[in-house]
Amino acid sequence: MRSGGRGIRFVVVTSNPGKAREFEDLFSRYGLSFRVEPIKTPEIQAMDLRLIAEESALYAYDVLREPVMVEDAGLFIDALGGFPGPFSSYAYKTIGIRGILKLMEGVEDRRARFTSVIAFYTPMIGSVKTFAGEVEGYISYEPRGSGGFGFDPIFIPAEGDGRTFAELSMEEKNRFSHRARAARKFAEWISSIEAISPAYE
């Protein structure tokens, strides 16, 4: 999958087809030049999404030797002390949506947030650059919707109309999701580099 023609050419590294589709939709609006590689990066055990994303970007660069962009995201539930947070992928694979809802049985405080951290690396910039995005919301009482992926069926964004992420179209979700907010920051930054340094072209 390839798109665009502006700025630094880079590789979006993700083995999640849902993420790949969202990034293609978001980055196509900026005319960025990129392709998607379904490489699975090892996730270090850490409480900080930023650190996990940074390490994943460095690993991906070692494999591809090209400018790379990776993203790590987590669902943080207030009543569960921020769980599953940086362990969201593992929690989804092990206890799944039903497991989270089981933990939330009888809990009135349904507040939660999705956080996304994008990490970009190429030796030309010297260090890993990160961009974060967040969206506040609530955990639903039952799964709703067939779109999206991961915990989307139980997350109701506070800025929405009461539907879960999984009930929104990708275009609707990309208006204000955590991933969209991080992606827009990254896209605006990398678009500006072309004008600053021709060496990146």
Reference 152, options 19, 15, 13, 14; nearest CA is 19
Residue 91: Cβ within 10 Å count: 21
Q: What is the CA radius of gyration of the chain?
A: 17
Question: Are residues 146 and 152 in contact, defined by beta-carbon separation less than 8 angstroms?
Answer: no
- Specify the amino acid at residue 60: A
Catalytic member of 25, 48, 62, 72? 72
Distances (CA, A) of 34 to 10, 79, 118, 143, 176: 5, 39, 15, 34, 22
> Residue 66 and residue 17: Cα distance in Å, rounded?
21
The bridge status of strand 155-157 relative to strand 111-121 is: unpaired
Taking CA atoms, 154 is separated from 135, 137, 147, 187, in Å, by: 14, 10, 11, 28
Is residue 152 annotated as part of the catalytic site, yes or no?
no
Main-chain phi, psi angles of 178, to 5 degrees? -60, -40
Catalytic residues: 72
